[in-house]
Amino acid sequence: MQKYPLYLLFFCASWMTISCQNKKTENKTDKVKEAMETKQNKSEEEWKKTLTPEQYYVLREKGTERPHTGEYNLKFDKGIYTCAGCGSELFTSDQKFESHCGWPSFDNEIGEGSKIKKIKDFSHGMIRTEIVCANCGGHLGHLFDDGPTKSGLRYCVNSLSLQFKNDTTKVK
């Protein structure tokens, strides 16, 4: 007879947990819509025509490529990294460093905050800072405060969200 109150208590606790998570999901959805309101007014169909399916998954659906698979993870040539969605210049090769995390990492961005938006991200049971292109709203990756350089920052970026422009004129 005492088992029923325990089941009832478990059921109520489970229901409350699920209902709280649904509210978090609604707030997250609102933030995604807010992040995508940018200078680029392309429809999702237009994005699908201009991006590869993999780029679309990362830039528009906030996906993540597998670690150690990206084209730019271990690339250290001189140049500029641009957004694969719109071409906006985001990072220089001088800002790139090897973080051993499996994704391209940068310690700063071009333009001191004007090129990349930072958005609180509560997905996957974590609290992180998502980074998106300020021009087109494309998901780039996440920002962490565990970088080994002076800035203390690590912009952890998906290679699929980037393009690289070689700069052979800058030789240091």
In angstroms, the CA 162 to CA 83 distance is 5
Catalytic status, residue 12: no
In angstroms, the CA 80 to CA 91 distance is 6
In 18-153, the DSSP E strands lie at: 79-83, 89-92, 96-97, 105-106, 116-121, 128-133, 139-144
Q: Which residue among the candidates 83, 86, 133, 156 is catalytic per the annotation? A: 156
Q: For residue 66, what are the contacts with CB-CB under 8 A and spacing of at least 6?
A: 102
* Catalytically active residues, by annotation: 156
